[in-house]
Amino acid sequence: MSQSTPPVIRTAQRTDSAAIAHIYNEGIERRIATFETRLRTAADIQTWFDSPQYPILVAEYDNTVAGWIAASSYRSRACYQGIAEFSVYIASYQQGRHIGSELMQAFIPACEAAGFWKLVSRIFPENNASRALCRKHGFREVGIYEKHAQLDGVWRDVIIVERLLENNLR
C-alpha cells in the first residue's frame, strides 16, 4: 500500500496475537510507553480475548498488523464497569503514518457500542506522540500521578487522560 492509503482497521482475532505481542514488545523495549519490562508472548496476548466486552482493534497494511488498540478493565468494582483503560501501540517502522489516529477513530465508537461511558489511560510525560493523539481525539489531561512506579529503578510520573463517551451518559 502507498503512504497515502489508509490502513484496514478491523476487530482483532486470536490469530493476531503474535503480531500484537511483537508490536507490544517493541514498546516495552523502547521504555517510552509502559512500565512493563517482561516481554509478551502470543499466548499472553490470547488471554485478552477472554473478555470480549473489551474492544481490541488492529490496523493492517498488506495483510500485516501495523498497530493495535485495546480496552481493558479499569477496576473490578461494579460501579466502574462503564470505564475502560486503553493502550495503543504502533509498529516502529509504521510510526508517523497516523495509524494511531485511524485506530482511535474506530475504537471510540466501538467502546461506545460496548456500553462504556469513559476511557482512561496513563502516559509518560515525554511521550509526545501519545499525548498529541489523545488531544486530537478529545481526551483531556486530568493530572499527573507523581512517582507512579519505577521503571529500571527510576521513579516515573504519568499523565492521566480521560474521555467521556457522551452518548452513554444520557
The predicted pLDDT at position 1 comes to 46
pTM over 0.85: yes
Architecture of the domain delimited by 8-121: 3-Layer(aba) Sandwich (3.40)
CA-CA-CA-CA torsion sign (48, 127, 102, 161): positive
How far lies 143's CA from each of 70, 118, 120, 123, 133, in Å? 22, 16, 12, 11, 17
pLDDT digits (tens, 9 = 90+) for 65-119: 999 999 999 999 999 999 999 999 999 999 999 999 999 999 999 999 999 999 9
pLDDT level of residue 169 (50, 70, 90 thresholds): confident
Summary mean pLDDT of the chain? 95
Q: Taking a C-beta distance cutoff of 8 angstroms, is the pair 108, 137 a contact?
A: yes
Q: DSSP character for 119?
A: E
